[in-house]
Amino acid sequence: MRRVLVALCMLGATWGAAQEAAYLVTGGQSPVEVAANGYVQTVTMVDEDRAEVRVAAILGPIGSKGAYQEVLSREVMGVPSDFDIPTRLRSELRPELSAWEAATRILEWSARHVTVDVSDNQPQDAASVLARGRGRCSGVANATAALLLAAGFEAATVSGLLISDSGPIPHRWVACRLPGAGWVHTDPTLGLWTVTASHLAFADAVQDPPAVRVVREPADGLSALPKRGGRPLRPNLGSDLLCRVVGAADDSAVVAVLRGGGGAIHRVALDPEGLFTALLPGRWRLTVTAGDEVIEERELDLRSGQLQSFVVTLPENGSKDEVGS
């Protein structure tokens, strides 16, 4: 338990506020503890039949490093027999790509070519699902994991429940190990490198869902994510913003506040400068205050992997005079 809680604290410190939820699971299988990049699940047994489950989905940048060439140099393991990467997809996976980019292209290819069909009663193995271009969530996960494995990545399917308004639904998604980032969970039915706090992980496929009571309902965090090809994307690189105030007129504390999609809020004291790091790329609203007075308000478009700066100068008479951004 302590290891998982420490991982949650580290993730929160690195990527900011998480999408969090809490559940009471009664009867049947018990969820398992998970500590992955962007997805943390803790389990506390209330008694022999009930478990309190807390889930945090951190939607900030992943932080993977290294080129795809490093992945190609490893021994490919766990690939289903008689399975190979489609020719067109293989042609996209060039060694000079970053490992994250290569894996993301695989997720995109799977999303484009495999349709989720909850009524599909045909075999759900990877080869069958790819051949007919559709499958249940288990089949889509099997196909996506197999493509990642065949490309040289470590990957596995994750069994569990998806908590919906109508109750718990048996579900399956994918975990992939990215260089420098560790295991990253992704639900092919939702987007790219995205899972939510509505995902509950179990050790095995859940045939008979236990009773699940929502103690703390998760917020809709996916709306804060940038999109790639129309799909929500948890990016690899974040945005950094350096704020600096010059010539403060009095001793009032100067604070910069960033507000983004999905209710994300970040604050930093400017003494005389402060740095926001690992932000999701996209539109943010910056507000700078000195005491109770608003010094500056503006919309910013932050880009992935870039450091932007913003400077406000305050003359001694207290009037504001923006000198650079």
Domains observed in the chain = 2-232 (3.10.620), 239-324 (2.60.40.1120)
User: Do 172 and 160 contact (CB within 8 A), yes or no?
Assistant: yes
pLDDT attached to residue 248: 57
Q: Which of 5-9, 98-102, 218-222, 299-303 has the lowest mean pLDDT?
A: 5-9
Please write the tens of the pLDDT for every residue from 239-254: 999 999 887 556 778 9
Q: What is the pLDDT of residue 319?
A: 47
Please give the angle made by the CA atoms of 7, 11 and 12, to the nearest 5 degrees. 115
* Distance of alpha carbon 138 from alpha carbon 29, whole angstroms: 18
Q: How confident is the model at residue 18 (pLDDT cuts 50, 70, 90)?
A: low
256 pairs with which residues across the strands? 268, 288
Provide the angle, in degrees to the nearest 10, between the axes of the packed helices 99-113 and 137-150. Answer: 140
| pLDDT for the residue 288 | 92
Helices (H), the chain: 2-15, 68-72, 87-92, 99-113, 126-132, 137-150
3 or 197, which is more confident: 197
**For 111-119, what is the mean pLDDT?**
95
* Average pLDDT over the chain, rounded to an integer: 88
pLDDT band at 3 (very low <50, low <70, confident <90, very high): very low
What DSSP character marks residue 139? H
Of all residues in the chain, the percent with pLDDT exceeding 70 is 90
What's the average model confidence in pLDDT over 61-76?
91
Please give the backbone phi and psi of residue 93, each rounded to the nearest 5 degrees, phi first: -90, 75
In angstroms, the CA 62 to CA 70 distance is: 18
Give the other-Cβ count within 10 Å of 48's Cβ: 7
pLDDT of residue 316: 62
The residue count of the chain comes to 325
Q: Quote the pTM value.
A: 0.85
